[in-house]
Structure 1
Amino acid sequence: MRLDSKQTAMLLVDVQERLFAHIHNHELIEKHLLVLLKGLKTLEIPILCNQQYTKGLGQTISSVHSLLGKTTIYEKCTFSCYQNSEVTEALEALHVKCVIVAGVESHVCVLQSVCDLLDAGFEVIVCADAMGSRKAYDHEMALRRMEQEGASLATTESLLFELLQSALHPQFKEVSALVKTL
């Protein structure tokens, strides 16, 4: 399976104020998330941002929120984003085959979202360096489980260059400059 920018969307899972600071390696994950999101926006890939119980966990962290602009933020109480009917409808309306997933926590909301997306027939690419859990072991186990369920694992850099497909792409220089900041 190769990524096609016209058939791809991104699901951002619960990168929220009161949780993110407790995620293992959160500074590095934030750096990768910002490059990933900037690159996807440059390539005009739709981004669906989700927040788990905002009243308790707060808003999406400010660095990410400022990049999203007027992007709709989907409020949820289910762990899986895909069990939120608004997200399900939004993904279906985009008519995409592939969903890139990143966020927190890998072993709870990300994992359950990935499993539901796979069950719904989407090809799922998990951006392993743009997601995490409070404990490194939980993150590692979640990655193994997601891969066993049928998701593909990738990194921020590999995803962005795969979406470009060629150094002749009009946004190559812009995306390449972003990746060099990692």
Structure 2
Amino acid sequence: MRILKENTVAIIIDMQERLLPHMEKSNVLLDNLKILIKGLNALDIPILVSEQYTKGLGPTVNEITQVLEQYTPLEKMSFSCFDESMIQEKIDYMNKEWIIIAGIESHICVLQTVIDLIDSGYIPIIIEDCIASRKANDKQIAIGRMQKEGAIITTYESILFELCRHAKSDAFKTISKLIK
């Protein structure tokens, strides 16, 4: 099954000031996520941004907000984004089939969001090189569970070129420059 940009939305989960520094390979995660976001912007894919308990964990890191074309954080207290009625309503209203997932932590908020999306009939696309946990084993176990539940696992480069589809577009030129 091919993932089509017209039927896709992305969620960036909890890339917050007080969480990010504790993630394994946080600098790599941040660099990869910036490329993903810039590519999604070039493809006109809508991007939602969640923040877990913003008062305690801080806002989304500046490096991410600077590359987002629009930044309206969706605060949550539930681990799953889809457990928050405001976020669930936004996703349902967009009426998209595929949900690109990036963010932290893989084994908590990302995993629970993915399970709830699947239970509601959506197909989550997990960007493996754009998710993280504090410990590598937690991320590895979470990816296995998400895949068993029915999520698609891929990388930022793979998804961007799949959504682009051919080399004739301006988006292809932008994405090619980002990848180099």
Shared fold per TM-score greater than 0.5:
yes
* Distance in 2 of aligned mates of 1:123 and 1:15: 22
The root-mean-square deviation of aligned C-alpha atoms, in Å, is 0.8
**1:145 aligns to what?**
145
Q: How does 1:113-128 map to 2 (within 5 A)?
A: 113-128=113-128
- Residue deviations 1:111-157 (CA, integer Å, cap 9, x gap): 00000000010011100000100001100000000001000100000
Once the two structures are aligned, what percentage of the paired residues are identical?
43
List structure 1 segments (4+ residues) > 6 angstroms apart after TM superposition.
Answer: none
* Distance in 1 of aligned mates of 2:27 and 2:7: 30
* Distance in 2 of aligned mates of 1:84 and 1:97: 19
SS of 2:55's equivalent?
helix
Q: 2:47 is aligned with what amino acid?
A: I
**1:132 aligns to what?**
132
Q: How does 1:1-182 map to 2 (within 5 A)?
A: 1-180=1-180
Instruction: Give unpaired runs (5+ residues) of structure 1.
Output: none
Q: 1:67 is aligned with what amino acid?
A: V
Q: 2:85 is aligned with what amino acid?
A: S
* Contact 2:39–2:171 (8 Å) recurs in 1: no
* Distance in 2 of aligned mates of 1:71 and 1:98: 21
Q: 1:116 is aligned with what amino acid?
A: D
* Distance in 2 of aligned mates of 1:126 and 1:119: 16
SS of 1:21's equivalent?
helix
Deviation at 1:174, TM superposition (A): 0.7
Q: Which moved more, 1:156-165 or 1:89-98?
A: 89-98
- Residue deviations 1:22-41 (CA, integer Å, cap 9, x gap): 00011001111000000001
Instruction: Give unpaired runs (5+ residues) of structure 2.
Output: none
Deviation at 1:69, TM superposition (A): 4.3
Deviation at 1:79, TM superposition (A): 0.1
* Distance in 2 of aligned mates of 1:97 and 1:70: 22
Deviation at 1:169, TM superposition (A): 2.4
* Distance in 2 of aligned mates of 1:57 and 1:105: 13
Deviation at 1:2, TM superposition (A): 1.1
Deviation at 1:86, TM superposition (A): 1.0
